[in-house]
């Protein structure tokens, strides 16, 4: 086990290195640069002298291999440098938005658990009845609805219904206040994107709960329990559900990792100042330093969560032994 963890951690190094080189090359393959955007982002005339100075200042004129070495060094020494757009430290810019994205990711995960486990369970118990079909339809619709579209519909729905009921239109706040400062304001802003994303991510978890439960329900010990005349409710709660939770935990874990990088569109629609919006901004600004750091953050979270999930698997299920 111990050896396995070490081995997996070592294997992270080539993955991260590969991702770093890939993002580095991809960003520079895109024509244009942050200086052109900063000096003429509104279509204005650009002073060529100023343009050249800006490039020199940001190191854009350095040879490519030097830029790559700089970037790799910055990543492995945890000194990510300054955003090319704002000039502020990358760690500061990310830290500022991390709280919001983390809160939504947690809230969305909670929503998806609250939705998925009961629905998946009902669906499995009532397999191939209309309840099952209904639940599956609802959960698959979650994957099918484009999140940007759902966002538009939610905001518009809120505006129209509140105006119809109260006379004054209401929409979620568009600027963030931390949970501990103003919980009402905070939640009234974040609950909508959390529900929209949580619903989407619950679809996979519902399906997983259903099929895992179905599998467990056919195990011998469940049959034995039934033969002993135990109540079906008891069988489900005491035996089956608990044993089928493992793959569900896995799926939720992996989704959480995806969520941190996957809020891009939702944050746009609800005007949330989180990691996703920062990501889109830095990509459109061609802010190499910021984008590289964000990509590495997302990739790192992704591989680490994957690792933790695999280890959890081993801890929770004694049948699995890694070597």
Partner 1 sequence: MKTSFTRLAMTAGLGAAVAAGGIVAASAEEPKQGGVLRIVVGSKIPSYDGHRESTFGMIHPIRPFYSLLIRVNPDDPQSSNFICDLCEGDVPTATNDGKTYTFKIRQGAEFHDGTPLTAHDIVATYNKIVFPPEGILSNRVSRFAMVEKISAPDDFTVQFDLKYASPGFMPMVATPFNFVYAKKDLERVDPEGKDPQYGMKWHQNNINGTGAFSFVEHQPGSHVLGKRHEKYHHEGKPYLDGFKAISAPKMSVRIQAIRGGRADIEFRGFPPKSRDDLVKALGDDITVQESAWNCTFGYAGNQTKPLFQDKRVRQAMTLALDRWGASNYLSKIAIVKTVGGLALPGHPLATDEATLKTYYGYWPDIEKSREKARELLKEAGAEGASFKIWNRAVDQPYKVVGTWMLDQWKQVGLNVEQVVVPTGPWYAGLRDPDAFDVAIWPSCQSVVNPIVDAGAWISKERAADNRGYYTDPVLDEWYDQMNREGDPAKQAELYRKFEKRVLHDEAHFGQVLWWHKINPHRSFVKGWKIAPSHYLNQSLDQVWLDVPDEERKQRTMDELGG
Partner 2 sequence: MATLSEGRLAVAMFEEPAALKPWHVKLRDMARKQPVGVAGAIIVVLMVLMAIFADIVTPYDPLLNSYEYMLAPPDGNYIFGTDMLGRDVYSRIVYGARTALFVGFASAAVGGILGLILGVSSAYFGGLFDLIFQRVMDVFMAFPLVIMALAVVSILGTGTENVILAIIVPFVPRCARVVRSSALQIREIPYIDAAKACGFGHARIILRHMAPNVMAPFLIMITAFVGQAILTEASLSYLGLGVQEPTPAWGLMLQGGAEEFAESAPWVAVFPGLAITLAVFGFNLFGDALRDVLDPRLRSSQ
Residues 6+ apart with CB under 8 A from 156: none
The interface mask with partner 1, positions 260-299, x = CB under 8 A, is --------xxxx-x---xx--x--xxx-------------
Q: Which stretch binds partner 1 (CB under 8 A): 16-24, 71-79, 139-147, 172-180?
A: 172-180
* Residue pair 276/295 in contact by the 8 Å Cβ criterion: no
Measured CA to CA in angstroms, residue 175 lies from 109, 163, 300 at distances of 22, 21, 29
Q: Is 153 a binder of partner 1 (CB under 8 A)? A: no
Q: Is 207 in the site for partner 2 (CB under 8 A)?
A: yes
Does 126 interact with partner 2 (rule: CB under 8 A)? no
DSSP 8-state code for residue 62: S
Stretch 38-97 residues interacting with partner 2 (CB under 8 A): none
Stretch binding partner 2 (CB under 8 A), from 16-24, 91-99, 109-117, 171-179 = 16-24
Q: Closer to partner 1 at the Cβ: 161 or 224?
A: 161
59 binds, among partner 2, partner 1, none (CB under 5 to 8 A by kind): none
Q: Is 27 in the site for partner 2 (CB under 8 A)?
A: yes
| Burial call 43-70: b when 16+ CB within 10 Å, e when fewer | eeeeeeeebeebbeebebeeeeeebbee
Which residues neighbour 178 within 8 Å (Cβ) at sequence distance 6 or greater? 99, 186
Of residues 47 and 317, the one with the C-beta less far from partner 2: 317
C-alpha distances out from residue 112 to 14, 242, 260, 310, Å: 33, 18, 15, 21
* Cα-based angle 7, 8, 9 (whole degrees, multiple of 5): 90
Q: How far apart are CA 30 and CA 226, in angstroms?
A: 63
Interface residue list for partner 2 (CB under 8 A): 11, 14-15, 18-19, 22-23, 26-27, 29-31, 127-128, 133, 136-137, 140-141, 143-149, 152-153, 156, 159-160, 207-208, 211, 214-215, 218, 247, 250-251, 254, 261, 264-265, 279-280, 283, 291, 295, 298-299, 302-303, 309
């Amino acid at each position: 086990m111990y050896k396995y963890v070490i081995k997996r951690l070592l294997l992270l190094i080539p993955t991260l290195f590969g991702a770093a080189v890939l993002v580095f090359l991809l960003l520079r393959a895109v024509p244009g640069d942050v200086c052109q955007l900063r000096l003429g982002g509104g279509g204005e005339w650009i002073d060529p002298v100023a343009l050249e100075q800006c490039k020199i200042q940001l190191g854009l004129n350095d040879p490519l291999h030097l830029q790559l070495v700089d970037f790799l060094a910055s990543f492995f020494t945890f000194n990510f440098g300054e955003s090319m757009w704002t000039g502020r430290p990358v760690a500061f810019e990310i830290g500022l938005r991390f709280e919001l994205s983390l809160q939504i990711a947690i809230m969305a995960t909670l929503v998806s658990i609250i939705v998925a486990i009961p629905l998946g369970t009902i669906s499995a118990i009532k397999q191939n009845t209309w309840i099952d079909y209904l639940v599956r339809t609802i959960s698959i619709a979650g994957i099918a609805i484009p999140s940007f579209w759902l966002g538009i519909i939610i905001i518009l729905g809120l505006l129209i219904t509140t105006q119809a009921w109260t006379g004054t239109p209401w929409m979620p706040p568009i600027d963030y206040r931390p949970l501990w400062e103003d919980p009402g304001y905070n939640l009234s802003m974040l609950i909508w994107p959390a529900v929209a994303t949580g619903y989407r991510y619950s679809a996979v978890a519902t399906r997983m709960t259903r099929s895992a439960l179905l599998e467990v329900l056919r195990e011998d010990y469940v049959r034995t329990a039934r033969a002993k005349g135990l109540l079906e409710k008891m069988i489900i709660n005491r035996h089956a559900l608990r044993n089928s939770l493992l793959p569900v935990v896995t799926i939720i874990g992996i989704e959480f990792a995806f969520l941190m990088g996957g809020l891009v569109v939702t944050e746009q629609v609800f005007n949330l100042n989180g990691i996703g919006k920062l990501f889109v901004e830095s990509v459109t600004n061609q802010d190499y330093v910021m984008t590289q750091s964000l990509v590495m953050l997302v990739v790192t979270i992704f591989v680490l969560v994957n690792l933790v999930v695999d280890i959890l698997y081993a801890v929770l299920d004694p049948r699995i032994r890694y070597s």
